[in-house]
Copies of this chain bind each other. A is one copy, B any other.
Amino acid sequence: MSEHHHQNPIAEPQVILELIRYDRSAYAKYTDLSVDDLLLQINPGEVNWINLDGLNNQTIIEKLQAHFQLHALLIDDVLNDQRPKAEEYDEYLFFTLKMLYRIDESGIDYEQISFVLGRDYLISFQEKEGDLFDGFRERIRLDQGKVRKKQADYLLYRLTDIIIDNYYNVLDKIGEEIESIEDDIQANPANRSFNRIQKIKKELIYLRRTVYPLRDALNKIIKGESEFINDENIRYYADIYDHVIHLQDSLDIYKDLTSGLLDLHINTLNTKLNEVMKVLAVISTIFMPLTFIVGVYGMNFENLPELEWQYGYYGTWGVMLLIVGGMVAYFKRKKWF
């Protein structure tokens, strides 16, 4: 429906379609099939995980849509930037969230991943090639852990858990950056630090948008008594829910810490200004009276008796030293040095 917004630019033509099919005893993986052939390999008795990397091949998506009777609005949500959310349809559960990557200094990379969980299948839609699941695919193949003994809803749990766990890595890097900025402010000129603070703040703003709606989405799954999630697995989703709240707490803490950094930065700036002004005031207060005095005896009056005194010059120095001493004592008492 509706000509939507925020279409994610998808330039690379590479689209990868993959099916992993397993149960307790069997395992199969299909990667280079056409979408029609791949759909033929789906076996209702087993868990069928269909993964699509790249969303720009309309034919594939339309065939998936037709085969699984996916609602037009769901496809819309898969193709467009979406808040994380869970939605129950008659035939499947739809769940979309963001995968995070922290590639380098230039910031966090977001990728939307959407899941459609049916009774015996799970479809995952990713925007780009490459994900966090390679190690886990290997665990399925080698039958490690419980995954081969469980249904598709447990598979969805494990994938979600892997995604959320990776959030912690990103947050840890932000935590380190915050500490590094703090050191930076105290050691170095201020302007660069300010830009780093602003950058962290922006990242936190976007992260919050990614994490907060997840709470509602997971709550919907836990409370919703969806028929696609077995009761015994609800506790696993509740565990992810706890992680998400933990992440929220961390984001709130980081937000507070970052605003503390801003205070620190401003305080450093102000303290420096105060210091500069003190130097200026001290110098002016000491030298202005002195310059005045030497100016007095630089006047050319014919009748200026001190000029003729034997020790006038030395007396002037004496007076000036007294003034300097007085000033220094005054500033000491005022704690200006």
Contact A307 B300 (CB under 8 A): yes
Among B191, B201, B246, B296, contact of A260 (Cβ-Cβ < 8 Å): B201
Decide: A300 near B303, CB < 8 A? Known: A278-B276, A285-B279.
no
Give A272's nearest chain B residue, CB to CB. B274
Q: Does A5 contact B (CB under 8 A)?
A: yes
Chain B residues with Cβ below 8 Å from A13 are none
Contact B262 A263 (CB under 8 A): yes
User: How big is chain A's contact interface, by range?
Assistant: 35 or more
The answer for the CA separation of A138 and B301 in the assembled complex, in Å, is 92
The answer for the CA separation of A301 and B308 in the assembled complex, in Å, is 6
Give A270's nearest chain B residue, CB to CB. B269
Chain B residues with Cβ below 8 Å from A158 are 2
A260 to nearest B CB, angstroms?
6
Contact A304 B313 (CB under 8 A): yes
Contact A313 B292 (CB under 8 A): no
What copy number does this chain have within its complex?
A: 5
Decide: A194 near B302, CB < 8 A? Known: A168-B5, A256-B205, A290-B292.
no
Give A87's nearest chain B residue, CB to CB. B238
Contact A301 B313 (CB under 8 A): yes
Q: Does A30 contact B (CB under 8 A)?
A: no
Contact A307 B297 (CB under 8 A): no
Interface readout for A65-94 with B: 1 if CB under 8 Å, 0 if not?
000000101001100001101000000000
Q: Does A140 contact B (CB under 8 A)?
A: no
Please provide the chain A residues from 205 to 237 with a CB less than 8 Å away from any CB of chain B in the complex. Answer: 205-206, 209, 213, 235-236
Contact A236 B73 (CB under 8 A): yes
Q: Does A280 contact B (CB under 8 A)?
A: yes
Please provide the chain A residues from 143 to 190 with a CB less than 8 Å away from any CB of chain B in the complex. Answer: 145, 158, 161-162, 165, 168-169, 172, 189-190
Closest 4 CB pairs of A and B: A294-B295, A5-B168, A287-B288, A297-B299
A sample of 12 inter-chain contacts (CB < 8 A) reads A1-B145, A77-B242, A83-B246, A190-B271, A191-B267, A266-B270, A276-B277, A276-B278, A284-B284, A287-B291, A288-B291, A299-B316
Known: A201-B260, A283-B289. 18 other contacts (CB 8 A): A1-B161, A1-B239, A5-B172, A82-B246, A83-B249, A198-B260, A198-B263, A206-B253, A209-B249, A273-B273, A279-B285, A280-B281, A287-B291, A291-B292, A294-B299, A301-B307, A302-B307, A303-B312
